[in-house]
Structure 1
Amino acid sequence: MLNKNSVWKVLLALLFVGLCALYALPNIYGEDNAVQISAGRDAVVTKQMVSQVEQTLAANDISPKRVEFENEQILVRLTGSEDQLKAREMLERALGGDYIVAMNLAADTPQWLEDLGASPMKLGLDLRGGVHFLMEVDMSEAIAKSLEDAESDFRTALREEKIRYRTVTKRDNHVDIKFRDDETLEKAQFFLRNRNRDLAFTEAGDMVLRATFSEDKLKEIRDYAVKQNITILRNRVNQLGVAEPLIQKQGADRIVVQLPGVQDTARAKEILNATATLEFRLLDQDNDVRDAINGRVPPGSQLIEDKNGQPQLLEKKIMLTGNHIIDANNSVDEYGIAQVNISLDSEGGNKMSRGTRGNIGKPMATVFIEYKATGEKNAQGKLMFEKHEEVISVATIQAQLGSSFRITGLDSPKEARDLALLLRAGALIAPIQIVEERTVGPSLGQENIELGMQAIVYGLLAVLVFMLIYYKAFGIVANIALVSNMVMIVGIMSMIPGATLTLPGMAGIVLTVGMAVDANVLIFERIREELRDGRSPQQAINSGYDSAFSTILDANITTFIAGLILFAVGTGPIKGFSITLMIGIATSMFTAILLTRIIVNAVWGGRKVKKLAI
């Protein structure tokens, strides 16, 4: 008998629509104004702090919806923006500068939905509000660091090859190596040229060999600096609790950072501008630190204070920088003493092996270096940075180290945990400065959402009314499919981890409303034609769906390909539009061909029908 539903098709459709509806559900609960508390470099957030936060709020007549502790962070949910602003100020004053207190928006999803992994759609900057930064990487500092590495590498390589040299000196954009005679210079030039293919070596007179980076090497340094900074900025943004930040490269030396939902611009700038790096150096045990304190610092050494303010005399030679660290975690040894386990990349492992080979038993320091903006600009109009250095750990080298080693000599498990987090965060290759800043207020974002929703609702209602009037009972079927299509789009957008709804994305949904009903129009008109040609209702239904299928498929595939191209080559808003368009095409095909067929078969199929209300 024609037009009978198979059980598996019905179950498949119900399961898919039900699953999408379940994951679309969190979007109806909205968001809470919230204040998030996370730890700075020298602090830790504990569950015991929740009571302190609640007492501070109660003392200032602020009644939070609830205070939550999760993932070593405290989230205070509040009833409005006024309480949010007031709570942020009170908590900053009560907790001090060791903690990061930032305003944010937090999804008010019920716990049972969160347990199922359901969460609302991620909203873009134009809908949720937030901050947009355009940041520029200081490439001169990145190149200078690479020159320092080359300078250190030259010294080590020439010593291992037993080639005598007088001095190795880093200049503005090159490294000069001075020799005693021409024969040694030629030998060194041949050796270094074969060893460093990406460097150009020229004789600079007076038995000086000059090394400069090739253009390809300079491009590689710049690209690596931007990529590394993007990775570390993502780790820094995590402190703000931003659900879906956008951090991507723009041009040769710039990075775009968008933080939807962040309302505390000053705190966001403070975290992003806290440009830091790490270095591993040996302590200078050949000279007296007291002489250095009195002003007699040896030429190859540097005086740096530790976290307790005690001066430490370190060798200037850098054994390793933090950008070679790929993993770090804290633990305790067999005696219960805190330690940090480090994993390096292959290049870092080789450097650490060479640096520790002849220094077993000597103390090695971990130096934390931070670049802070001075507020002044140089002749080129770029922001100037001031360098701050601090010894955060001193450990004794127990054996020749490689790609994996341990840092010991730490005071407590908390210090080990903080150091591991810092090391995992990585090292920024060069300082960065904010060259452009834009803020989208929550009120403007809310207005965009309201206007976008009005467009979707009005468009949907107009189509529903038209289909109901023009196709009668079959119009009701099309309307059920259309509403289901909207639910499925929202559910799928909520399920995809990287999907973000933007204002152009909402335009894609409006367009999908029209495209979704277009397939039903093709099917229903084909059924009408079949009825006019004298076919029975059952034959007309069967032929209408089968005949319209190829036309619907061709039209939707070509549009889907266009959306795919937009997604591949587009950026930002264009990607947002293409994602919703492609999801809408896929769901409209499902609802128009499968879902409406199931409903039509359930109502009219498998029985004698004299007339169809279409």
Structure 2
Amino acid sequence: MIQLSRWKIILVVLALALGVWFALPNVLPANVRERMPGFMPSNTINLGLDLQGGSYLLLEVDTEALATERLNNMVEEIRLDFRRERIGFSGLTPEGHGVVVRLRDPAQTDAAVRVLNNMGEFVAQTGQRDRTVQRVGPGVIRVQLSEDALQAQASAAVEQSIEIVRRRIDSLGAKEPSITRQGRDRIVVQAAGESDPERLKNVIGQTARLTFQMVDEQNSLQAALAGQVPPDAMVVPTDEPGEPFLLLKRRVLVSGENLTRANVGVDQMQRPAIDFRFDGQGARRFGEVTAANVNRRFAIVLDGRVISAPTIISPITGGSGQITGNFSVQTASDLVNLLNAGALPAPLTVEEQRTVGAELGADAVRAGLISTVVAFVLVLAFMVLSYGFLFGGISVIALLANGLLIMAVMSVTGADLTLPGIAGLILTLAMAVDANVLIYERMRDEVRAGRPPILAMDAGFGRAMVTIIDANLTTLIAAWIMFFFGAGPVRGFAWTLTIGVVTSVFTAVLITQILLALWFRLRRPKALPIA
């Protein structure tokens, strides 16, 4: 165990060289890092929200609104399919997560059930359709959305919302935001350096759902405002001058999901506008719709509000168009960012928000630095007093190498350093020398038993190794459990603890072993000073 193996020396030298290489940007000024060549590492340890200051938001995805929207789509789907199959119905009544269908002629029940069974889609997790069809009486059928389908939709909506929120925050220029899922339908957003949570809420909270729908010109808007809304239509507020409301067809002709690009442009009056382009499917659908509705109005609806309702002069077949309205350069730019990031699948509600000031973060950094230095000095004093300058000094060298490797790994992985993470680092310092304590105490026992120095050193490393692995493996398992099941600061603590456990075993065993072997080869002592 105490022999100078070539592979051990190569491994240690390579690890320390990579450690210096990747940790170097942390000690260089920002202007120097910006001028470094492209092959040089530039990643530094990211300070978390509690150290740098910034904004914290706890968001909840409105999965119930998602279920309601799916139910409304199902009602429209049933209405269209029944009309196409000439199945008369007297009512489509939403009830819970289902709809009750009442037929005019009970004799058409079998035909209606057949049509309903062919509707919907399959749920990937179960392989079953997303709805069930039940006969509940003569000419009465209940169509119910399955719980598996609703749960799969809600889970997918949360994951999609996380990605969209990430793209929106990136458009603000926030550095390394932390966006994580919490529980079944919540999202935690931590934007270090972003001190205005209201700005975050405005950018994140807007659903940005863009739809293109035809204006209903066959029915009366006044009658609809009085409460007589046709089943296939809806009243929507507008930004159009002189038209506070418009009556629109419920059916969505093209949606923002078909957008491939949006950017700020100008209209014919040189006012800010939004230019957009559809993908192949959206361009084809948009061309068909505009060709079939020349001289009719269609509405561009954003988050349930009409922002423009132009008249179709001629078919638009190029797959691109322009949205005009009362935009300023800033509002047009914000809207472009939202459209390019994508629409949220469901509304987000803010459950909690808080701001950590930059001065509080600076105080936390100072406190963390002081506590780390104090912990290091106390560990150094303990090792030197307990095992002398040689063995204690070697442990301190291994400890410094451990800190270097931790810094390098955190820089490469982009990990956030938080106050709980600093606690994990301090705990790592104690655990790192714990391995040395086990090795040295075993050496002392062997010396007292009369073993010569070389055998005592060899036994110290060989017999203590099992205990070191067992102790650190249990700590590693606990850290993994905290990382996978914890959130926020708990994950930060678990991540730094995991890195520290791996690097401390490497440095406390291999580096200590190599340094002691070099000392023994040079001095050939008759007795170990550790005794």
TM-score category (smaller protein): 0.7 to 0.9
Amino acid in structure 2 at the alignment position of 1:146? R
Identity level (%): 35
In the alignment, is residue 134 of structure 1 matched against residue 58 of structure 2? Answer: yes
TM-score by length of structure 1 reads 0.67
Aligned to 1:367: 300
Aligned to 1:573: 489
Amino acid in structure 2 at the alignment position of 1:388? R
In the alignment, is residue 266 of structure 1 matched against residue 198 of structure 2? Answer: yes
Aligned to 1:585: 501
TM-score by length of structure 2 reads 0.77
On the 8 A contact 2:158/2:186 being kept in 1, the answer is yes
Amino acid in structure 2 at the alignment position of 1:547? R
Aligned to 1:83: none
Picking from 390, 395, 404, the partner of 1:473 is 390
SS in 2 for 1:135: strand
On the 8 A contact 1:235/1:425 being kept in 2, the answer is yes
Q: For residue 396 of structure 1, report the CA deviation from its aligned partner.
A: 4.6
Aligned to 2:189: 257
Which string of whole-angstrom CA distances, capped at 9 and with x for unpartnered residues, describes residues 352-406 of structure 1?
Answer: 99x7898584469783413xxxxxxxxxxxxxxxx423359989575xxxxxxx7
On the 8 A contact 1:128/1:445 being kept in 2, the answer is yes
On the 8 A contact 2:43/2:411 being kept in 1, the answer is yes
Aligned to 1:4: 4
Picking from 222, 227, 240, the partner of 2:172 is 240
SS in 2 for 1:263: coil
Aligned to 2:355: 439
Picking from 521, 524, 531, the partner of 1:605 is 521
Aligned to 1:340: 277
Comparing 147-156 and 573-582, the one that deviates more: 147-156
Q: For residue 313 of structure 1, report the CA deviation from its aligned partner.
A: 8.7
Amino acid in structure 2 at the alignment position of 1:28? V
Aligned to 2:468: 552
Which string of whole-angstrom CA distances, capped at 9 and with x for unpartnered residues, describes residues 196-232 of structure 1?
Answer: 4544556799966554534444444544443433332
In the alignment, is residue 318 of structure 1 matched against residue 252 of structure 2? Answer: yes
In the alignment, is residue 165 of structure 1 matched against residue 97 of structure 2? Answer: no
State the distance in 2 between where 1:613 and 1:110 align. 49
Where is the strand percentage greater, Structure 1 or Structure 2? 1
State the distance in 2 between where 1:423 and 1:240 align. 14
Q: For residue 143 of structure 1, report the CA deviation from its aligned partner.
A: 2.9
Distance verdict in 2 for CA 1:554–1:134, change over 3 Å: closer
State the distance in 1 between where 2:489 and 2:338 align. 34
Instruction: Describe how 1:41-440 pairs up with structure 2 within 5 A.
Output: 109-112=33-36, 116-159=40-83, 162-165=85-88, 175=99, 179-193=103-117, 195-196=119-120, 197-199=129-131, 211-281=143-213, 315-322=249-256, 328=260, 340=277, 342=279, 361-362=291-292, 367-370=300-303, 387-391=304-308, 396=315, 407-409=319-321, 422-440=338-356
On the 8 A contact 2:308/2:323 being kept in 1, the answer is no
Which string of whole-angstrom CA distances, capped at 9 and with x for unpartnered residues, describes residues 486-510 of structure 1?
Answer: 111121111113x222222111111
State the distance in 1 between where 2:489 and 2:393 align. 34
In the alignment, is residue 501 of structure 1 matched against residue 417 of structure 2? Answer: yes
State the distance in 2 between where 1:235 and 1:396 align. 34
Aligned to 1:102: none
Amino acid in structure 2 at the alignment position of 1:477? I
Q: For residue 421 of structure 1, report the CA deviation from its aligned partner.
A: 6.0
Distance verdict in 2 for CA 1:119–1:604, change over 3 Å: same
State the distance in 2 between where 1:259 and 1:500 align. 11
Aligned to 2:27: 28
Give the gaps of 5 or more residues in structure 2: 121-128, 264-274
SS in 2 for 1:430: coil
State the distance in 2 between where 1:434 and 1:339 align. 30
On the 8 A contact 1:330/1:417 being kept in 2, the answer is no
Comparing 191-200 and 567-576, the one that deviates more: 191-200
Comparing 292-301 and 439-448, the one that deviates more: 292-301
Aligned to 1:13: 12
State the distance in 2 between where 1:227 and 1:170 align. 32
SS in 2 for 1:457: helix
State the distance in 2 between where 1:292 and 1:535 align. 101
On the 8 A contact 1:481/1:592 being kept in 2, the answer is yes
The alignment of Structure 1 onto Structure 2 pairs a total of residues equal to 494
State the distance in 2 between where 1:28 and 1:114 align. 18
Amino acid in structure 1 at the alignment position of 2:519? V
Give the gaps of 5 or more residues in structure 1: 32-65, 67-107, 332-337, 371-386, 399-405
